[in-house]
Amino acid sequence: MLKIAKERLNELYAKINESMGLFIPIKRAGEVNYAVWGEGKEVSLETLKTVKSPKNMFFPQTENMMQFKTEGKNIEIVDIREEYKELRPFVLFGVKACDYKAIEVLDKVFLADPVDTYYQNRREATTIVTLACSRPEESCFCGVFGIDATAPTGDVTTWLDGEYLYWQVNTEKGKALTALVKDLLTEGGEKEVASQQETTKTVLEKLPFANLDLSRFKPENLNELFEAKEWEEMSEACLGCGTCTFVCPTCQCFDIRDIKTNEGVLRYRCWDSCMYSDFTQMAGGNNRTTQLQRFRQRFMHKLVYYPSQNDGLYSCVGCGRCVNKCPQKLNIVKVIKTLGGKNND
């Protein structure tokens, strides 16, 4: 275990920033989000939940894919991925356990064969420094999904406690990063970290959603859950605004669109939402015409379909962002309580 005094963190950031990009929670206009670090920026590692999850580091909200130049009947494709070859390695700093698990969930989608090279390029260029939670909130329920908020992995794990940030190396990438900043780090901290973890765990156990029962969300119950009459009541108030999908660290649905520019046609992709009415609209019809169907799709995907495709891994990590942000106070916790199993009372 290594450590650095909190008041020297700016030196650490500056040192990393000399050779790599640094994305870190930064407070701007009252909101904290992952952004590029620079001198004078207000870093807020203590913020438990950034408004947007760090997924847009690998899967940006909009991303240019290619360009087409057309002349008469001819088309030329410009592969703008060339710019990625020059992609500067970067460090994603301060990722909480839930958001780190969410990256694992996204990896299984984007890095599965055939690999999504846009995602892969960004992912490979990144070193992830996680930060253990010490003050979880009421809306947190990562423990339900087997996530230990006090010991996230990543390339380096850090703990913020008292006057120090404690630093533990986990991978080769983490080792390389540590070598870069070794002059700023000193030995020590095992005891402090262990003590913080113990205290946090007692808080985690008492959280209101700590004991949600997921036992019914199994592939063999897929059709029974799909047919459940409770979807009607649960989805009744859903506006289809898509807020839950945008703040969700695991939602990965996207659209691919073309836009005409002065330089030709630009093809880009952008986040989309299964909550939107035109998401599945085809010339020949639409297989999900009601909000009930769309609402059900989102939660069935997270709790049943995705786990069925990925060895039981849920695509909810219990970050609680949707719990805080839904304008109608609908959320996955209510779905789990209603359909997850009999120990949810």
Partner 1 sequence: MINETLIPKIGVVTDIRKDTPDVKTFRVVGTDGKKLFEHMPGQCAMVSIPGVGECMFSITSSPTNKEYMEFSIKKCGCVTEVIHAIEVGQQITVRGPYGKNFPVEGDFKGKDLLFIAGGIGLAPLRSVINYVRHYRNNYGKVVIVYGARSKDDLVDIDEIKTEWMNEPNMEVYLTIDRPQDGWDGHVGFVPAYVKELGLDPNMTAVLCGPPIMIKFTLAGLLELGFDKSRVYTTLELRMKCGIGKCGRCNVGDKFVCKDGPVFRMTELDELPDEY
Binding site for partner 1 (CB under 8 A): 65-66, 68, 70, 73-77, 79, 81, 109-110, 112, 114-118, 219, 222-223, 226-227, 252-256, 258, 260, 264-265, 267, 269, 272, 274, 279-284, 287-288, 293, 297, 300-301, 304-305, 308-309
Nearest approach, Cβ of residue 279 and partner 1 (Å): 7
Nearest approach, Cβ of residue 299 and partner 1 (Å): 13
Nearest approach, Cβ of residue 231 and partner 1 (Å): 11
Choice between 134 and 338, CB closer to partner 1: 338
Choice between 146 and 219, CB closer to partner 1: 219
Choice between 44 and 293, CB closer to partner 1: 293
- Cα distances from 201 to residues 48, 67, 142, 149, in angstroms, run 16, 51, 12, 8
306: closest CA among 314, 298, 316? 314
Q: Residues near 75 by Cβ (< 8 Å), separated by ≥ 6?
A: 68, 69
Choice between 67 and 158, CB closer to partner 1: 67
Choice between 5 and 65, CB closer to partner 1: 65
Choice between 47 and 308, CB closer to partner 1: 308
Nearest approach, Cβ of residue 153 and partner 1 (Å): 24
Q: Which two tokens stand for residue 323?
A: 């719990």
Q: In angstroms, rounded to a whole number, what is the distance separating the alpha carbons of residues 117 and 121?
A: 6
Cβ burial, residue 302 (10 Å; 0-12/13-18/19+) = buried
Nearest approach, Cβ of residue 245 and partner 1 (Å): 10
Render 200-216 in DSSP notation, one character per residue: HHHHHHHSTTTT---TT
Q: State the residue for tokens 């947007």.
A: 52
Longest Cα pair distance anywhere in the chain, in angstroms? 71
Nearest approach, Cβ of residue 258 and partner 1 (Å): 5
DSSP state of 33: E
